[in-house]
Amino acid sequence: MRVVLIERGEMGGECLNTGCVPSKALLAAAAQTAHAMRSAGGCGIEAVEPCVDFAAVHAHVHQVIAAIAPHDSVERFEGKGAHVIRAEARFVAPCVLMAGGQRIEARRVTIATGSAPVAPKIDGLDAVPYFTNESIFDNRTLPAHLLIIGAGPIGLEMAQAHRRLGSQVTVIERSKEPRA
């Protein structure tokens, strides 16, 4: 089939840029290494307190993104025969889209536009600075104390990673029931 892929933001979407990849680079590579250094005792290797350069950890996370980016790149998909348009898509008629000044008519359209972080209604939140997944991986300074609202998998990943890298971490979860 002839395929047109339209992307208005970064190729690779959330997973590559602000989701799975940076979170696992932070968690698995950096934080796990720091934890392993601290807890090495017991297997004949002296445990040491790691000296964490958070700006360098940030650089590492972005190197991992950059290493994977070619797999999600325009060149790769164009090389496989898809036509890639880097622009915002909008419908102008059923099965007719406009993107980047191009008109695309297709029998089938897959909408895979993902999601964006939504700030929850929490009193006072609008008066304080806070991170979302779109900003936390751009942070170059280790937070002295990171407060995480929500103990889902992503909140707990960020809690573990930052704790292991040396932040004080507090997690707040309103539900008292364990998640299924």
Ligand X SMILES: Cc1cc2nc3c(=O)[nH]c(=O)nc-3n(C[C@H](O)[C@H](O)[C@H](O)COP(=O)(O)OP(=O)(O)OC[C@H]3O[C@@H](n4cnc5c(N)ncnc54)[C@H](O)[C@@H]3O)c2cc1C
CB of 154 to ligand X, least distance (A): 5
Report the alpha-carbon distance of residue 38 to residue 49 in Å, rounded: 5
58: left (phi over 0), alpha (psi -120 to 50) or beta: alpha
Comparing CB distances to ligand X, the nearer of 43 and 112 is 112
Comparing CB distances to ligand X, the nearer of 132 and 170 is 132
Comparing CB distances to ligand X, the nearer of 10 and 50 is 10
Which position has the token pair 């690779």?
12
CB of 136 to ligand X, least distance (A): 8
| Binding residues for ligand X (CB under 6 A) | 6-9, 13-15, 19-20, 23-24, 88-89, 112-115, 133, 154
CB of 48 to ligand X, least distance (A): 29
CB of 102 to ligand X, least distance (A): 12
- Position closest to ligand X via CB: 114
**Identity of residue 74:** V
Residues linked to residue 148 through DSSP beta bridges, in sequence order: 171
β strands within the chain, DSSP E: 4-6, 83-85, 89-93, 96-99, 102-105, 145-149, 168-172
Comparing CB distances to ligand X, the nearer of 50 and 155 is 155
* Tokens standing for residue 105: 């008519």
3-class secondary structure, 58 = helix
* Tokens standing for residue 137: 């991986």
CB of 13 to ligand X, least distance (A): 3
**Identity of residue 16:** L
Comparing CB distances to ligand X, the nearer of 20 and 151 is 20
Would you give the distance in Å from CA 150 to the centre of its chain?
16
